Amino acid sequence: MASHGGRPNYVAVWAWLVALVILGLAVSFLPGARSMAVALIFATAVAKALLVALNYMHLRSESRLIYAIAIVPVLFVLGLTVALFPDFVFHR
Amino acid sequence: MATRAEAQAIPGILPGKVGVWWFLASEVMLFGGLIASYVVFRLGSAGWSTESAHLSVPIAAVNTLVLLTSSLTMVQAFAAVEGGDQPRLRMHLGLTILLGLTFLGIKAFEYTFEIRAGFTPGAGIFWSFYYTMTGLHALHVLAGIVVNTLLFVRAGRGTRNWHQVELAGLYWHLVDIVWIFLFPLLYLT
Amino acid sequence: MADTAFATVAEHSAHVHDVKPGFWHTYVFSTDHKTIGKQYLCIGLIWAVVGGLLAYVMRWQLAWPDTAVPGWGEVGPEVYNMMVTMHGTIMVFFVAMPILLGAYGNFLIPLMIGARDMAFPRLNMLSVWVFAFASLVLFLSFFVPGGAASAGWTGYPPLSAKVEYTGVNWGMNLWILALALEFASFLMGGVNYLTTAITLRVPGMTFFRLPLVVWQQLTAATLFLLSVGPLIAGAVMLLLDRTIGTHFYLPDLGGDPLLWQHLFWFFGHPEVYVILLPALGFVLEVLPVFSRKPIFSYRGIIYSTIAAGGLSFVVWAHHMFVSGMDPRLAMPFSITTILISVPFAFIVFAMIATLWRGSIRFDTPMLFALGFLAMFIVGGLTGIFNGSAPADIYISDTYFVVAHFHYTLFSSVVFGGFAGFYFWFSKMFGRLLNETLGKVHFWLTLVCFNLTFFPMHNIGLAGMGRRIANPLQYEFLVPHQWVNVLVTVGAILLLAAQIPLVLNIAWSLLAGRAAPANPWEANTLEWTAPSPPPHLNWETLPVVYRGPYEYSVPEVREEWLPQDQALAAPSR
């Protein structure tokens, strides 16, 4: 199922997603620096999310307005998380 | 003062898609609020890893693959619509529904197993978050299954509902993305 | 393309429904945005009466503690807590939201952009039905054993998280459920407003030719859509703490009550702008029409609105200066709070500049708009004190804050809301309201409002705390009790001052003059439709040639120049 009409190759994306799941699992079982492992695991999560969003949700080919509607809440969530750090991470 | 009338619709934007994306934005804020709370609580206290060690990573990994595959079948349903292929649309919608039900089934099995072992929502703050986050996610999966079933039935009647398949797909993919983050947050770290 | 596809569907259904729809379809199960707007208005006004009556009972108890309130009976501390809670909840979520957003957002947006209806009419109908159901749930919460919620409209845990702390069980759960349903309803509405304005504008109606009230409604919808998620998450957590024993907010088991405050106010602060912005929009529409002048700095107002909207997401902890949160958060949030006063100040100055050298018509809508302007300036000024952490440490949780938010909220919901109500009444209902009764209503409301709320600044600074049922139990408040009596007298008069409005509505609907299409000689598109507009609004959709504020322009002899009026060739 090659890509047609400018659409992504959905099966290829799926293969990458599976690979990233396996990678994340592998990293979580490796010994060694915990924080490195966590960073890598979340990197795979972000990569998977981007693959789904850009290819399955077609964000790659959508207008700037749709892209803005998609990205702004993500930034807000990140901002909220950071703002909660002083009260819950530094003080508990 | 301009007197020439210009068409104002943003080219290629259909109302349904704009509407669904705004809805998805609010869903991101909903799950984001839960996730933000979880992250800061977790980073701020010790002992959560010992609790999360009681979760079954293999079961959740299988569930992750189930949901990722259901995203593939969902977008294939959309591709079938774009190609005007009604039988292929039904097949992929059906597969998506089945995979969604599989996800919920596995989740139900998981919950039963955990509750029997004494890990109820009241067992500790980790478990409070675990059940709330995965429970709310599961409700969203259920809602998606219901919508997909309606589309499946309509596709059987031959109605041309291609736009709705795309919109339902957008929702389904977001539910998948939420799980993509819940999996490492709860199980792998 | 979206336009024409939708228009074709609409045109088609206009012909198909030549058979007149019955009562149920017209008034109850309608997908028409104008009917849905009126349904929101009705429910909101009914709740306004309930909220006002609660205020009456509360104020009586405060002025003459532990005496029987006429028409109610004795009010003990638990009942008082319940009244304070429900007064706030009702006024914010079941009066302000449905009237300012639900009613006027629905009614105005399609008409002002030249659309036949909202982008999703059936979703619209669902939204008002979900809201009606939410209202029912909240109403029922008064009658369950244990009574209605009594942990404040802000519902802080641990008080709200454990049944034994308030003695209220189902009332509190139903409160959470009613709010969740209300949020769902307005999420649907918000999606509808934004999609409609983005995709259904007629040719010529660019974004920068939209009436300012539409910009305000869209910004409010965006704010709501993006801020309510974390609170829904928090509310789910609260409900679970109460029912299945989770530990999100209970400190003895690993939770933290402060989390609720952050999640609540992350929504709560944008929410007050969700309420303010539509009212601001009404006033921004009324001022140019009744000054016969263009609005001052149309784009400046839009950019200020967007800036304020963006900033509203980073000020929330100014509600938490005394909560025990990390003190290092106080300065950044004070700074952002002071910053947010800048765009609002710009808008206020733009309003004054619009009036400057205008040819003012003092009809009732204009009086209420001017009333908004004056009262909002007072409320905004006290906001500066509240927003600065050092000052707020002293005045937080006193009546100074109550005065502040009533000066801002009341100006929005009542003065701004009535400006819109009187302005668009004839378009909504096809009858003109009586001007004399309107003026009486305005002046009585203005005077009684100030009588009620201004003294609260003083008594707040004297140390009277919020949410106390009996001020006389505090020795230092006893010499100030006369202020409480004065406020209560003002409050009762304020409620009575609404009688001319009720009479006016009744008289107008029963025996008022039929309204022409454009009684105020205004420019925006809704005035080109009949009063009231028929289903699907126009025979032929208008085409737009200019912005909405071309008043007293040299090109035409009249003082107004509608958006859809084509001009003859310049050689005249």
What one-character DSSP code corresponds to residue C536? T
More confident residue, C13 or B47: B47
In Å, how far are C265, C325, C347, C407 from C341, measured between CA atoms?
Answer: 18, 24, 10, 15
Helix (H) or strand (E) holding A77: helix A64-88
Amino acid at C421: F
Residues A64-83: tens digit of each pLDDT = 999 999 999 999 999 999 99
More confident residue, B52 or C259: C259
Closest-CA distance of chain C to residue B178, Å: 14
Interface probe for A, chosen from B71, B85, B126 (most Cβ of A below 10 Å), is: B71
* Helix C104-113 and helix C33-63, axial crossing angle in degrees, nearest 10: 150
**Gap between the Cα atoms of C104 and B122, Å rounded:** 45
Closest-CA distance of chain B to residue C497, Å: 40
pLDDT at B47 over 90: no
Closest-CA distance of chain C to residue B56, Å: 21
Per-residue confidence band for B159, with pLDDT thresholds at 50, 70 and 90: low
CA-wise closest residue to C274 among C321, C312, C230? C312
Helices (H) and strands (E) in chain B, counts: 6, 0
Identify any residues that bridge with C398 across adjacent strands, giving them in sequence order: C465
Closest CB to A88: pick one of C230, C256, C328: C256
What average pLDDT does this structure show over B102-128?
94
CA-wise closest residue to C206 among B85, B2, B167? B2
Contact residues, chain C, for A63 at CB < 8 Å:
none
Half-sphere CA count of A90, side-chain side, radius 13 A: 12
Q: Over its length of 572 residues, how does chain C's per-residue pLDDT go in tens digits? A: 334 434 444 444 444 445 567 888 888 889 999 999 999 999 999 999 999 999 999 999 999 998 999 999 999 999 999 999 999 999 999 999 999 999 999 999 999 999 999 999 999 999 999 999 999 999 999 999 999 999 999 999 999 999 888 888 999 999 999 999 999 999 999 999 999 999 999 999 999 999 999 999 999 999 999 999 999 999 999 999 999 999 999 988 889 999 999 999 999 999 999 999 999 999 999 999 999 999 999 999 999 999 999 999 999 999 999 999 999 999 999 999 999 999 999 999 999 999 999 999 999 999 999 999 999 999 999 999 999 999 999 999 999 999 999 999 999 999 999 999 999 999 999 999 999 999 999 999 999 999 999 999 999 999 999 999 999 999 999 999 999 999 999 999 999 999 999 999 999 999 988 999 999 999 999 999 999 999 999 999 999 999 999 999 998 999 999 999 998 755 44
What the block records as the tokens of B50 is: 């010992």
Contact residues, chain A, for C262 at CB < 8 Å:
83-84, 87
Closest CB to C206: pick one of B8, B19, B127: B8
Q: How many beta-carbon pairs under 8 angstroms link B with C?
A: 150
Share the mean pLDDT of chain A.
90
What the block records as the tokens of C404 is: 């502040």
Which residue carries 């704010």 as its tokens?
A: C223
CB neighbourhood size of C551 (10 A): 23
Identify any residues that bridge with C551 across adjacent strands, giving them in sequence order: C560
Residue C199's pLDDT is 93
More confident residue, B163 or B178: B178
Residue C569's pLDDT is 58
ipTM of the complex: 0.92
Closest CB to A49: pick one of B33, B39, B180: B180
C191: three-class secondary structure by DSSP = helix
Contact B189 A56 (CB under 8 A): no
Contact A81 B39 (CB under 8 A): yes
**Gap between the Cα atoms of B93 and C256, Å rounded:** 43
Closest-CA distance of chain C to residue B37, Å: 7
For residues C423 and C282, the answer to whether their CB atoms sit within 8 Å is yes
**Gap between the Cα atoms of C134 and C43, Å rounded:** 11
Q: Which residues contact C120 (CB under 8 A, 6 or more apart)?
A: B15, B19, C191, C192, C195
Domain B17-188 is in which class? mainly alpha
Q: Which residues contact B167 (CB under 8 A, 6 or more apart)?
A: B16, B17, B20
What's the predicted TM-score (pTM) here? 0.94
Contact B37 C233 (CB under 8 A): yes
Residue B157's pLDDT is 80
Contact C326 A90 (CB under 8 A): yes
Judge whether C195 is closer than 8 Å to chain B, CB to CB.
yes
pLDDT at A15 over 90: yes
Per-residue confidence band for B11, with pLDDT thresholds at 50, 70 and 90: low
Contact residues, chain A, for C266 at CB < 8 Å:
80
Domains of chain C: 39-528 (1.20.210.10)
Residue B2's pLDDT is 32
Residue C149, phi then psi, degrees to nearest 5: -55, 145
